[in-house]
Amino acid sequence: MSHITLVRHGQANTEARDETGYDKLSDLGWQQARWLGEHFQQTGEVFARTYTGTLQRHIETAEGIGPDCPTEVVRDPRLNEMQYFDVATRLREQHGLPIPQEREGFIEHLPTLFTYWKEGRIEDVPETFAHFESRVSDVLNEIAAGEGRALVVTSGGLIGMAMRLIMRLDIAAMSHMCLAIENSSLHRVQPLSTGLAMTQFNAIPHLDTPARAFARTHL
């Protein structure tokens, strides 16, 4: 049966505070991707199609997963992350809300950012919330209409938006889901005659051992 497996990229450059600086895997991020590839080999998971965004961390994660990605990987910019740092910078400049420096700060910051962004209260953003929502819907439905199992390497914000669309989440629920998404985690979407259904969320079978507990990361 055809389905889509969404993979969040491996850990990126967590010290960065801009889009360019963040967009590369850390050493741990590469290891997470390689372990995920080994998991696919051990379980016999085979994908007919592979897609990534055009961001470096997406491409590197697919490379780390390795031979279970088909030779020809489709790189689609619609699978790119929202430009969080750019939107957050404008939120700070226009509304005085600082960008968090640690994960705990994002718990309150992210729903506020999404709310202001969705309501059009942040000016001069790289894209509107409605455009982000629309492009995620379009690319997911196009992939779902294809033949064979699809592996999609993307980002946490995009996976959160996918869940918002599929599960009809409000902004608060979407924000909480985004905050829970771990690096290199798996999320499965099943196409049904009535639309897309979410059948798996935030699975990390390749990291779910005591010896690899250190490798579970969110940022």
Residue 125: pLDDT above 90?
Answer: yes
Tell me which residue of 115, 132, 127, 117 sits closest to 171, measured CA to CA.
115
Mean pLDDT value of segment 169-195: 96
**20-63 residue pLDDT tens:** 888 999 999 999 999 999 999 999 999 999 999 999 999 999 99
> How far from chain centre, in Å, is Cα 129?
16
Q: Identify whether the C-beta of residue 166 lies closer than 8 Å to the C-beta of residue 199.
A: no
Q: Identify whether the C-beta of residue 61 lies closer than 8 Å to the C-beta of residue 124.
A: no
Residue 133, token pair as written in the block: 């929502």
Tell me which residue of 159, 160, 144, 136 sits closest to 194, measured CA to CA.
144
What confidence score (pLDDT) does residue 69 get?
Answer: 65
The pTM of this model reads 0.94
